[in-house]
Structure 1
């Protein structure tokens, strides 16, 4: 991972084989980021996506190995019980120009990933919302 900080924005570039979430956590540790918005684009070839089923309060996971264009990566970086917590969704383009997407568990760069992290002042913590069974942003 290479990155450049420009005020409250950080531009990251991931190399082939590097994971998106693992590098966001590494960046957050280095720069002490406790709240941020994340956007990006690029290409990946291994992804672990999930879809959350509210009725069972469980994720349905899908691991796929295929060349994808990252059409949209968006989400946030917050804190959860003292640990950095990237919450990301991704839309991926296939060679036939169809798309898939979902909650991103992890994806690995195949060409490059260009990610912009916009740092927010302060910290945002997550806590369990028992109604939906997920650690949601606590904005109280």
Structure 2
């Protein structure tokens, strides 16, 4: 059964207005989504946007790959994102405090609620790079959390993307995967 996309878009834009409220210097400002994109291939329509938008992903899409491709197609300088939805067979990473250590990767079998999902899109050697962390919950409401290495979308994922006005640079060590933001 296909969801009613008009109703879904209305709900997502309403939720986005609530989710995108930010606090700056004790002042509250509200940012509303300028568009809802139902396919990562439609992100080209948002080229060079500076306005937040919602990316809706479908079953079996690559979560991070889709976000990265959308940012590239929209020609974003950099961005932050948050989201919710469902993923299956996610692989999470745990990094130690030593930047020379390789991360511990763990793949979790099954479907998980994407209870909290936050990250950024930066530039690493002239390539778009998505960095994200998530809190996932199983059907018994047990939570797991970590750095998202990879995940496929389950039923759906709704990602609020907020473009940044300047490019943010990152230097990722291909050996360890550690990649801090740099000047």
Partner SS state of residue 108, structure 2: strand
Higher relative contact order (CA 8 A, sep 6+): 1
Structure 1 contact 75–86 (Cα < 8 Å) conserved = yes
- Aligned pair count reads 137
Unaligned runs of 5+ in 1: none
| Residue 124 (structure 2) pairs with residue 80 (structure 1) | yes
How many Å apart are 1:128 and its aligned residue? 5.7
Unaligned runs of 5+ in 2: 1-37
How many Å apart are 1:137 and its aligned residue? 0.9
Partner residue in 1 for 2:93:
50
Q: Distance in 1 between matches of 2:87 and 2:139?
A: 12
> Structure 1 133/24 Cα, relative in aligned 2: closer, same or farther at 3 Å?
closer
Matching of residues 1-140 of structure 1 within 5 Å? 2=39, 8-55=51-98, 57-127=101-171, 134-138=178-182, 140=183
Instruction: Select the structure that is richer in strand.
Output: 1
TM-score normalised by structure 2 residue count = 0.69
Q: Distance in 1 between matches of 2:97 and 2:85?
A: 30
CA RMSD of aligned residues (A): 2.2
> Structure 1 128/28 Cα, relative in aligned 2: closer, same or farther at 3 Å?
closer
Structure 1, residues 105-136: CA drift from partner, whole Å, max 9, x if none?
1111111000010001020011269xx98321
What stretches of structure 1 move > 4 A for 4+ residues in a row? Answer: 3-7
Greater Cα radius of gyration, structure 1 or 2: 2
Structure 1, residues 50-81: CA drift from partner, whole Å, max 9, x if none?
00022452100011221111100001110000
Q: Distance in 2 between matches of 1:108 and 1:18?
A: 5
Q: Distance in 2 between matches of 1:102 and 1:44?
A: 14
